[in-house]
Amino acid sequence: MNKTILIFGIILSALMISSCVKDLDVAPQDPTKILAGNLGDDPAYMDQALAKIYASFIISGQGANGGDDIAASDGNFFTTMRALWNLQEITTDEAICAWGDVGIADLNTQTWSPTNPFLTALYQRLALSITYANDFINNAQQYGTENVERYVAEARFLRALAYYWAIDLFGQFPFTTEEDGVGKFFPKIGSRQEIFAYIESELLDIENKLGAPRFSYPQADQAAAWMLLSRLYLNAQVYTGTPRWNDVVTYTGKVIGAGYSLASDYRQNFSADNDGRHNPEMIFAWEQDGMNVQGYVGTTFIIESSSDAQYIRAEDFHGLTSNTNWNGNRARIQFLDIMVDTIATYGNVPIPATDPTFSQCPDKRVFLKMKKDRNIPSPSASGDYGIGVYKFTARNTNGSLPANYNTAFACTDFPVFRLADAYMMRAEALYRTGGDANIDLAVADINKIRERAYGNTSGNITAADLNLDFIIDERGREFYYEAQRRTDLIRFGKFTGGDYLWQWKGGAYKGASTSEHLNLFPIPGDELSSNPNYNGVNNPGY
């Protein structure tokens, strides 16, 4: 990847913005480019410029001939959601990658350094999305065109989301707003606490400026802002040292009361018909489309990297037939123990070879498959070892192919916020707040999720069953492979240290205790040396 010095000199108005995001009506009216100075000339221009910000999170670029926004050896490899997925998943029990690309092994074993290319990629990508948003806000608010207040609110939401991921991953981060403009300067460095406060204030300010829930999927609406506030408050003790559990309850309550409902089939959330037009559970997602949003990114990446030629063939499990079966990602054995209660399901006997997909498991969230051996003999061992995962699919829920089917690229949106998380966040906050009444309410929220998973009340729990270990495990069962696991494990004190070990954590076959400083990633070395406002000081421990 080419080094990008954070002088914020990338100007939205200097880029072509013919967007691939199909539902924002983004076919450009101007055959060459739309300039920041003419955003007010045609209402369509505002849509197209806003779409550029959305697209910056999921694809590599929309420049001339589909060029990458940031030069890289492989633009798909270093997109926001692909890099984020790697940092959130293969650093945990939920995934491990067999590939030999630089940086992968470091993430598999929690032995990364400031030179890891995925850290640099995500750092630069988040900064780029923030820059796009700043430039759009600065220019768009000069015009009195229809819906401009809502457009600006959406850009502010996307900027807040980028900052949220930035402080979750890196803690401190370069901090700019539209007031700074876009030009050549070294941005000041905001602390985790300062940016937390800024995200909160932004979301509270735009709450009533966004569209009502479900107004125009996939655009951000009020419910998306409430979900981001909820997730921010859920992790407030990690980010600021001060818990905000009551605020989690408040804002998840707004989401739960906004008219969404759980999809009747859990799998719909990860199928080609998972979008908010067909799925009552989806609140906010990065839209993908086999014809209009193409790239080995997002759900296409998850599907292909989790497929292999023998155990989980993409042709059989997912409906993709071109460039298939990359044989990279799979889960570790410890996560199988969380997903499948082998004693309750099979009795006190080994898992039978006749049930490699765990079809006898009453929890229908289990989309796992036994491979050659459930144990992984080395971090770089073939993807044939470990526990196969086929949760995401390029088919519709009923197995049919979507209207915009492409043999190589999925039409399955990548879920960022869905209703099940509102229930699970509220349940955790209620439990942590304490008191019999709150715990009973937490049980009721969790049982809503489990009744969908089991198809009846047979999997329901009682207050006596509920504790923090159960909650983190239930979050794993519900949200695996959705790029949440690292953040969740940190909040529960299980990501580093020795309380919870998994295969190859710390580079040891049985797992080893790791240092607490790894709860934050380092500032990438190139960026640290490029911006004098860091004063050459990285995050503690690096």
pLDDT tens-digit readout, 446-462? 999 999 999 999 999 99
Expressed in angstroms, the distance from the first to the final Cα of the chain is 22
Confidence band of 40 (pLDDT split at 50, 70, 90): low
Query: Are 233 and 244 a contacting pair, CB within 8 Å?
Result: yes
State the Cα–Cα distance between residues 98 and 107, nearest whole angstrom: 11
Q: pTM value?
A: 0.93
The reply to whether 16 and 51 lie within a common domain is: yes
Ranking 141-155, 234-248, 270-284, 365-379 by mean pLDDT, the lowest is 141-155
pLDDT number for residue 182: 79
pLDDT number for residue 275: 97
In this predicted model, what pLDDT tens digit does every residue of 131-177 receive, in sequence order? 999 999 999 988 877 789 999 999 999 999 999 999 999 999 999 99
pLDDT number for residue 47: 86
The reply to whether 105 and 253 lie within a common domain is: no
Higher pLDDT, 298 or 343: 298
The reply to whether 201 and 236 lie within a common domain is: no
Q: How many CA atoms lie within 13 A of 222 on its CB side?
A: 17
| Domain residue limits at 46 | 1-209
| Total count of domains within the chain | 3
Asked if the structure places residue 69 within a domain, the reply is yes
Asked if the structure places residue 10 within a domain, the reply is yes
pLDDT number for residue 322: 96
The reply to whether 340 and 450 lie within a common domain is: no
Q: If you average pLDDT over residues 104-129, what whole number do you get?
A: 97
State the Cα–Cα distance between residues 75 and 425, nearest whole angstrom: 34
Asked if the structure places residue 308 within a domain, the reply is yes
The reply to whether 63 and 190 lie within a common domain is: yes
The reply to whether 218 and 148 lie within a common domain is: no
The reply to whether 159 and 148 lie within a common domain is: yes
Confidence band of 352 (pLDDT split at 50, 70, 90): confident
| Domain containing residue 80: CATH number | 1.25.40.390
The reply to whether 235 and 166 lie within a common domain is: no
Residue 326 one-letter amino acid: W
* End-of-domain residue from the set 387, 412, 437: 412
The reply to whether 152 and 205 lie within a common domain is: yes
CA dist list (Å): 466 to 23, 439, 451: 42, 8, 16
Asked if the structure places residue 498 within a domain, the reply is no
User: 3-state DSSP call for residue 86?
Assistant: helix
Q: Check pLDDT > 90 for residue 79.
A: yes
Confidence band of 33 (pLDDT split at 50, 70, 90): low
Query: Are 186 and 7 a contacting pair, CB within 8 Å?
Result: yes
* End-of-domain residue from the set 394, 412, 430: 412
* End-of-domain residue from the set 187, 209, 231: 209
Asked if the structure places residue 54 within a domain, the reply is yes
Confidence band of 37 (pLDDT split at 50, 70, 90): low
Confidence band of 6 (pLDDT split at 50, 70, 90): very low
Q: Check pLDDT > 60 for residue 311.
A: yes
Asked if the structure places residue 377 within a domain, the reply is yes
Q: Check pLDDT > 60 for residue 186.
A: yes
Instruction: Report percent pLDDT > 90 for the chain.
Output: 82
In this predicted model, what pLDDT tens digit does every residue of 486-509 receive, in sequence order? 999 999 999 999 999 999 999 999
Asked if the structure places residue 496 within a domain, the reply is no
Asked if the structure places residue 187 within a domain, the reply is yes
The reply to whether 182 and 192 lie within a common domain is: yes
The reply to whether 177 and 248 lie within a common domain is: no
**52: phi then psi, degrees, rounded to nearest 5:** -60, -40
Residue corresponding to tokens 């829920």: 397
The reply to whether 135 and 155 lie within a common domain is: yes
pLDDT number for residue 45: 80
CA dist list (Å): 208 to 53, 154, 204: 21, 11, 8
pLDDT number for residue 63: 56
Confidence band of 184 (pLDDT split at 50, 70, 90): confident
Confidence band of 31 (pLDDT split at 50, 70, 90): very low
In this predicted model, what pLDDT tens digit does every residue of 187-216 receive, in sequence order? 999 999 999 999 999 999 999 999 999 999
| Domain containing residue 420: CATH number | 1.25.40.10
pLDDT number for residue 534: 96
Ranking 17-31, 61-75, 452-466 by mean pLDDT, the lowest is 17-31
Contacts of 241 (CB under 8 A, 6+ apart): none
